[in-house]
Structure 1
Amino acid sequence: MTDQARTGSYGSSYGSSYDTNMNMNMNNNPAPSRQTIKFLTAATIGITLLLLSGLILTGTVIGLIIATPLLVLFSPILVPAAIILSLAAGGFMFSGGCGVAAVAALSWIYNYVSGKYPAGYDTLDYARGMIADKARDVKERAKDYGNYAQGRAQEATHGSTY
């Protein structure tokens, strides 16, 4: 559709005479459409990747066939060694992660205390306010309950003396 010349209601063409000449040249030598080029490119890449994956699979199977007797022969040594190495690597990763988290937390605390207001400071201030409100409520309830218990105790002691 893009190869056809556009015409208005009176038959005049949109654009200049260059556009008309360009469209005539395109009609004389039809070029492959974009969809055909896209399809051919995708098919070429797909077939190449499929062949490469087949070669890699074949190489993996051959390597596994060659290595299987060695793995079976050395498995009493390799399995415990792999377990120990994986535990050691996991320990180092966990230790390093804890160290990074500690440095990040200390940096955040330093920025907060120095007044630089790091990300999340507003949430911390909101939580602090909520905790203070709840503590005040608990204090008032405890005071009310203490007064109530004291009144009940006095009623109980005065009721037994009469």
Structure 2
Amino acid sequence: MADVRLQPQQQQQQQQPPPPRSHQMVKAATAVTAGGSLLVLSGLILAGTVIALTMATPLLVIFSPVLVPAAITVFLLGSGLLASGGFGIAALSVLAWIYKYVTGKQPPGADQLDKARQKLGYKAREMKDRAEQFGQQHTGM
């Protein structure tokens, strides 16, 4: 017969008895208690929200001629500030990339830019040659 040796982890798994039923019952009771408590808490929060909205609705209706334009103004101010900040960060990062590129450091994407520049130069020379050929054909006639 072959000598079968178990790894230490496999030996521990075989030697340990399954957890007792009381341990599983404690886990289940804890889970039910926590879940029930959270369910009750969410129900209370929902009820409080509905009550607060019911009480605040008359005030919202009374002040809506002021609140709606104020909310629109705050939204426009916030989005304008957020957009200007985003554009400012984008501009600074582009300027930093250009500075790295001009100073000879290779920022990400510089190789693609060089390839595109070479391809554009090749196409420009090709178009120049075609234009010269076209001009010679029409002037030679």
Shorter-chain-normalised TM-score: which range? 0.7 to 0.9
Which of the numbers 105, 111, 135 marks the counterpart of 1:116? 105
CA positional deviation for 1:49: 3.7
Q: How many residues align?
A: 136
CA positional deviation for 1:47: 3.8
Bigger relative CO (Cα 8 Å, ≥ 6 apart): 1
Flag structure 1 segments of 5+ consecutive residues without an equivalent. 1-7, 155-162
CA positional deviation for 1:26: 3.0
Query: For each residue in 1:106-131, what CA deviation from the matched residue of structure 2 results, as whole angstroms up to 9, or x when unmatched?
Result: 11111111122111111111111121
After TM superposition, list the pairs within 5 Å mapping 1:71-90 onto structure 2. Answer: 71-90=60-79
CA positional deviation for 1:54: 2.2
Flag structure 2 segments of 5+ consecutive residues without an equivalent. none
Task: Calculate the TM-score normalised by the size of structure 1.
Answer: 0.67
Counterpart residue identity of residue 45, structure 2: I
Larger radius of gyration between Structure 1 and Structure 2: 1
Could you tell me which residue of structure 1 aligns to residue 133 of structure 2? 144
Could you say what secondary structure the match of 1:129 adopts? helix
CA-atom RMSD in angstroms: 3.5
Could you say what secondary structure the match of 1:26 adopts? coil
Task: Calculate the TM-score normalised by the size of structure 2.
Answer: 0.76
CA positional deviation for 1:100: 0.7
